[in-house]
Amino acid sequence: MPIKLIAVTTVFVAVLATSSVLADAKPETPEPSDAGRRVIERKVGSRTFQSIQVNVNGEGNDIPGDAANGPSIAVDPTDHRKMVIVWRQFNSISSNFRQAACATSRDGGRTWTTPHLMAHGTIRDDPVLAAGANSDFYHASSSGLAAELFKSTDGGVTWRAPVFVFCGPKPWITVDQGKGIGAGNVYLIGEAQHEGRANTSFARSTRGGVLFGQPIAVPTPGMKWSTADVGHDGTLYLAGTTPDGTGHVVARSSDAKYRDQEPTFDLVQKVGLGGRSVDSAGPNPGGLLGRVWIAGGGSEGKRAGEVYMLASVDPPGDDPLDVMFIRSTDRGKTWSKPVRVNDDPAGGKAWQWFGTMSVAPNGRIDVIWNDTRNAVAKNGEGGSCEVYYASSTDGGVSWSKNIPISLPFDSFVGWPNQNKLGDSYHMVSDNAGANLAYAATFNRGQDVYFVRIEP
Ligand SMILES: [Ca+2]
Ligand SMILES: [Ca+2]
Ligand SMILES: [Ca+2]
């Protein structure tokens, strides 16, 4: 099959915020501002977790009446101070019209530039980010049914015009940050089964995201709510739910790293995470309760060959949702029994939703989720949730005591014309800690926050 080449012209799309909403302005390089930035602090014993609001106006203040959710984060692997966050920006909660907004940091997330909109004026959904080993940043999102990719070579300040990659919603992106034969490869996966469309929602670029090969089928039995990760040896792993949502599936490509070969999937199988993934329920009545996460075991040390999966799933019995984890030591062929990461009493009524995993190069596994346990303990039902954190330094066999890292917030507050707080959060780990982009309603609206978590 010939490789389809798509030409790209370079067009910069920096659009700055006005004092009220994110709107047009002439392109320029925004400067970080510390003045008036919104900081939410959670104290746990002697420790303080600082959440910094990212969707702010030019003065660094909250924008009343907007909504921001579905954030994704990327960190430059060569300089951890350099970060980008993108999210779904609704300039008004009275509308369903959403765009992709972007902000950058040069100081490890302490301060963020004034946000700008990407491809201003077009509806844009499910924005996701990844960083390459050479400091390039990649942003994938959907415009209608089209999954498109933007590239930035200046740390997320300006972006090239988007490249069409395939038809399919909820794209996920990952880049091979290693030094092997697949170094720099960019992989995009979308939902496999979409009504009336061919099942071609996987594509690879061996040309730094500038040119993509012809999209190919995501392996049967298909997957939804997916993520992808590249192992230390360049192996590509995909994970998601089965098309009917009742189970989970993992897929592996051992040859996607070779640029002169069409990628194939040499392992596709169902796995048991101890329950099914859930959407449109409980604290997020119009959205997913979390994506399905897969990660290689870091790039350094003895866990480099391991593979991990994690999701918020509905366990048997009354408990509505727990964060469950499984591990593989044979490149995804066999998997452990599920391990429950949240440490509140099993069988209760608490929702542990938006379970999100990232793995540091040294193999430490970081996990966060929204947790309603304290609201349930107080009033028996739910209501507010807090972001909780746990980590593992033994490949996920055992987990640290759970700690809350955010103040409580109500996920029913500040909905735009959709009954959800987005569909997921996103976290990137390094050897010293984790960088989380999440959405919450501390200011009585949906806003996007950054928090640095050091275990
Ligand atoms: Ca706001
Ligand atoms: Ca249950
Ligand atoms: Ca639970």
Q: How far apart are the CA of 114 and the centre of ligand 1, in A?
A: 14
Q: How far apart are the CA of 354 and the centre of ligand 1, in A?
A: 21
> String of b and e for 244-259 (b: at least 16 CB within 10 Å)?
eeebbbbbbbbbbbee
Ligand nearest to the CA of 322: 3
Q: In the structure encoding, which two tokens stand for residue 178, read together?
A: 């290693």
d(CA 254, CA 237): 9
Q: How far apart are the CA of 174 and the centre of ligand 3, in A?
A: 30
Q: In the structure encoding, which two tokens stand for residue 31, read together?
A: 């400067």
d(CA 337, CA 334): 10
The pairing of strands 365-371 and 384-392 is antiparallel
Ligand nearest to the CA of 101: 1
The structural domains of the chain, with segments of one domain joined by +, span: 39-453
Ligand nearest to the CA of 376: 3
Q: In the structure encoding, which two tokens stand for residue 108, read together?
A: 């490890």
d(CA 351, CA 431): 29
Q: How far apart are the CA of 276 and the centre of ligand 2, in A?
A: 9
pLDDT for residue 382? 74
pLDDT for residue 144? 85
d(CA 94, CA 79): 40
Mean pLDDT in consecutive groups of 10 residues from the start of the chain, 455 residues: 37 37 41 58 96 95 96 97 98 94 97 92 93 96 92 96 90 96 96 64 93 85 88 96 89 96 94 96 96 95 94 97 98 97 94 98 98 92 91 98 98 95 97 98 96 96
- Report the alpha-carbon angle 356-362-365, nearest 5: 20
pLDDT for residue 192? 65
d(CA 404, CA 424): 18
d(CA 222, CA 344): 34
State the architecture of 39-453 in CATH terms: 6 Propeller (2.120)
d(CA 148, CA 121): 16
- For residues 248 and 240, the answer to whether their CB atoms sit within 8 Å is yes
Q: How far apart are the CA of 317 and the centre of ligand 2, in A?
A: 4
Q: How far apart are the CA of 166 and the centre of ligand 2, in A?
A: 36
Ligand nearest to the CA of 350: 3
- For residues 436 and 370, the answer to whether their CB atoms sit within 8 Å is no
d(CA 99, CA 386): 27
- For residues 117 and 158, the answer to whether their CB atoms sit within 8 Å is no
pLDDT for residue 243? 81
Q: How far apart are the CA of 63 and the centre of ligand 1, in A?
A: 4
Q: In the structure encoding, which two tokens stand for residue 85, read together?
A: 């966050």
Q: How far apart are the CA of 89 and the centre of ligand 1, in A?
A: 10
Q: Is the dihedral of CA 47, 53, 54, 58 positive or negative?
A: negative
Q: How far apart are the CA of 323 and the centre of ligand 3, in A?
A: 8
Q: How far apart are the CA of 350 and the centre of ligand 3, in A?
A: 4
Q: How far apart are the CA of 399 and the centre of ligand 3, in A?
A: 16
Ligand nearest to the CA of 38: 1
Ligand nearest to the CA of 413: 1
pLDDT for residue 156? 95
400: nearest Cα among 370, 368, 374: 368
For the segment 397-410, what is each residue's pLDDT rounded down to a tens digit? 999 999 999 999 99
